[in-house]
C-alpha cells in the first residue's frame, strides 16, 4: 500500500478515497481480489461487471494482446458467477477501510434478457441485491458493454431513459454511476448524459472500450479475432469526452476517467480535464502492479509543478483548453 499520501486523498461521493487511482471493471469479475487490489496501492476498485444470472461468457479465447498498440482485444461477454453468489462472497469478507467498492452491473448475457423489459428487470434484480446487502459503497450501470448477446445496449436516449426511470424507483442509498460508451461523438454522447442528468445519477464513468473502426492500429486485426479495444486506442476519445462533459455539465456529475492510462501523466491529464477519479486496467495488465504506486508517487510531482496542495485542486483545471 505504501505510505499514505494526504495530498492525494479526497472526499468524493461523500466517501473518503486514499488516492484517485482505481481498478477498472473487468479484471476482478467475481470480487475475489479486493484485499490484493488495496495492497497494490489502488484507492478504490470497480469489480464485475456482474449480472443477475451467472454467465459462462463467450467462447474462449476472450483476450488478445496488441502490444504494439498498447491494447487488448476484449471479448469476454460478461463471464461472471452471478449477483447472488458474488454478493454473498462480499458479505463474508471483512470491510476494507478507506477502500470504496464499486460494483459494476450489466444485464445478463442471455437470450432471456434480450427484450427491453427483461433487460431492465435483470438490472434491477442485481441492484436490489446490492442495496439490500449493503456490501458496496458505489454501484455502476454498465450500459455500454459491446460484447453481449442480442438485444440493444442502453446507449440510446430512449432506452437509457427507460432504464433510469426504473432505477429511480429503487431510491438507492448508494451513489449510482453510469459507465458511458467510448464510440459516440460528443453530440450523441451529450444527449445520453442529458438523460442521466435528469435522474438519480451521481457520476459518469468515461468511458468503455473502443470500437475497432474508431482507430487506426499498427497492424489490422483479423476478423477471426472478435471483440472491442482497450488501452491506448481508447485514450483520445475518453479525454475528449471527459473535457466536454466537465465543461458542459460543470459539477453535476462526478467524473471517473478511464481509458489508456499507463502513467501519472495520463492520469493527471484526465484529472485536469475534469475527472475526480481515474481507473485503469490495461496498464496494470501490461506493466504490472508496481505501476499503481509509481503513478501515485508521480502525481505528487505534478501537483508540485502546478502549485496545487491537493489532487482535488487540479480537477478540471484544464477543461477549458479543449476544443
Ligand atoms: C480484460 C478486460 C475486461 C473488461 N471487462 C469489462 C467489464 O466487465 N465491464 C466494463 O464495464 N468494462 C470492462 N472493460 C473495459 C474497461 O473497464 C475500461 O473501460 C477500458 O478497458 C478502458 O480502460 P483501459 O485502457 O485502462 O483498459 C474490460 C477491459 C478489459 C481490458
Residue 172 located in a structural domain:
yes
CATH of the domain at 178: 3.20.20.70
Mean pLDDT estimate for the chain:
94
Specify the ligand 1 atom closest to the Cα of 207.
Answer: 19
Residue 222 located in a structural domain:
yes
Residue 36 located in a structural domain:
yes
Q: Which of 1-5, 30-34, 165-169, 219-223 is least confident?
A: 1-5
Residue 208 alpha carbon to ligand 1 centre in Å = 6
Q: DSSP assignment of 98-153, as one string?
A: T--EEEEE---SSGGG-SHHHHHHHHHHHHHHHHHHT--SEEEEE---SS-SSS--
Where residue 148 falls among pLDDT bands split at 50, 70, 90? low
Specify the ligand 1 atom closest to the Cα of 231.
Answer: 25
Asked whether 76 lines ligand 1 (CB < 6 A), one says yes
Residue nearest to atom 18 of ligand 1 (CA): 208
Q: Can you give the residue range of the structural domain that contains 152?
A: 6-321
3-state secondary structure of 179: strand
Q: What is d(CA 131, CA 170) in angstroms, rounded to the nearest whole number? A: 9
Residue 1 located in a structural domain:
no
Does the pLDDT of residue 132 top 90, yes or no? yes
Where residue 114 falls among pLDDT bands split at 50, 70, 90? confident
Q: What is d(CA 31, CA 87) in angstroms, rounded to the nearest whole number? A: 9
User: Is the model more confident about 112 or about 148?
Assistant: 112
Where residue 323 falls among pLDDT bands split at 50, 70, 90? very low
User: Is the model more confident about 3 or about 77?
Assistant: 77
Asked whether 74 lines ligand 1 (CB < 6 A), one says yes
C-alpha distances (whole Å) from 68 to each of 48, 226, 237, 248, 292 are 27, 18, 19, 35, 22
Residue 234 alpha carbon to ligand 1 centre in Å = 10
- How high is the pLDDT of residue 150? 60
Residue 24 located in a structural domain:
yes
Q: Which of 7-11, 221-225, 240-244, 302-306 is least confident?
A: 221-225
Residue 200 located in a structural domain:
yes
Does the pLDDT of residue 113 top 90, yes or no? no
Where residue 2 falls among pLDDT bands split at 50, 70, 90? low
Question: Does this model's pTM top 0.85?
Answer: yes
Give the chain's domain count: 1
Place of cell 461523438: 185
Residue 10 located in a structural domain:
yes
Q: DSSP assignment of 52-112, as one string?
A: SS-B--SSSP-EEEEGGGTEEEE---S-B--HHHHHHHHHHSPPPTT--EEEEE---SSGG
- How high is the pLDDT of residue 144? 75
Does the pLDDT of residue 31 top 60, yes or no? yes
Place of cell 440510446: 156
What mean pLDDT is predicted for residues 75-96? 95
Amino acid at each position: 500500500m505504501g505510505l499514505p499520501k494526504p495530498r492525494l486523498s479526497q472526499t468524493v461521493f461523500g466517501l473518503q478515497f486514499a488516492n484517485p487511482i482505481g481498478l477498472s471493471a473487468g479484471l476482478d469479475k467475481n470480487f475475489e481480489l479486493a484485499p490484493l487490489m488495496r495492497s497494490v496501492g489502488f484507492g478504490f476498485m470497480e469489480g464485475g461487471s456482474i449480472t443477475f444470472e451467472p454467465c459462462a461468457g463467450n467462447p474462449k479465447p476472450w483476450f488478445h494482446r496488441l502490444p504494439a498498440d498498447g491494447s487488448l482485444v476484449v471479448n469476454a461477454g460478461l463471464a461472471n458467477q452471478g449477483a447472488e453468489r458474488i454478493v454473498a462472497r462480499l458479505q463474508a469478507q471483512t470491510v476494507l477501510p478507506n477502500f470504496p467498492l464499486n460494483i459494476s452491473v450489466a444485464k445478463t448475457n442471455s437470450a432471456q434478457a434480450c427484450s427491453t423489459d427483461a433487460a431492465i428487470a435483470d438490472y434491477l434484480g442485481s441492484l436490489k441485491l446490492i442495496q439490500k446487502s449493503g456490501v458496496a459503497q458505489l454501484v455502476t450501470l454498465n450500459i455500454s458493454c459491446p460484447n453481449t448477446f442480442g438485444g440493444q445496449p442502453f446507449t440510446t436516449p430512449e432506452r437509457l431513459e427507460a432504464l433510469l426511470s426504473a432505477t429511480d424507483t429503487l431510491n438507492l442509498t448508494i451513489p449510482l454511476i453510469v459507465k458511458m460508451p467510448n464510440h459516440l461523438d460528443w453530440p450523441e454522447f451529450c444527449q445520453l448524459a442529458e438523460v442521466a442528468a435528469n435522474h438519480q445519477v451521481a457520476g459518469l464513468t468515461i468511458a468503455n472500450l473502443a470500437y475497432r473502426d474508431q482507430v487506426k492500429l499498427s497492424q489490422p486485426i483479423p476478423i477471426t479475432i472478435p471483440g472491442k479495444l482497450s488501452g491506448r486506442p481508447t485514450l483520445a476519445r475518453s479525454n475528449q469526452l471527459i473535457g466536454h462533459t466537465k465543461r458542459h455539465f460543470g459539477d453535476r456529475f462526478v467524473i471517473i476517467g478511464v481509458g489508456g492510462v499507463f502513467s501519472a501523466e495520463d492520469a493527471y491529464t484526465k484529472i485536469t480535464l475534469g475527472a475526480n477519479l481515474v481507473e485503469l486496467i490495461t496498464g496494470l495488465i501490461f506493466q504490472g502492479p508496481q505501476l499503481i504506486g509509481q503513478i501515485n508517487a508521480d502525481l505528487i510531482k505534478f501537483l508540485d509543478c502546478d502549485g496545487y496542495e491537493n489532487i482535488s485542486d487540479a480537477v478540471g483545471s484544464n477543461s477549458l483548453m479543449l476544443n
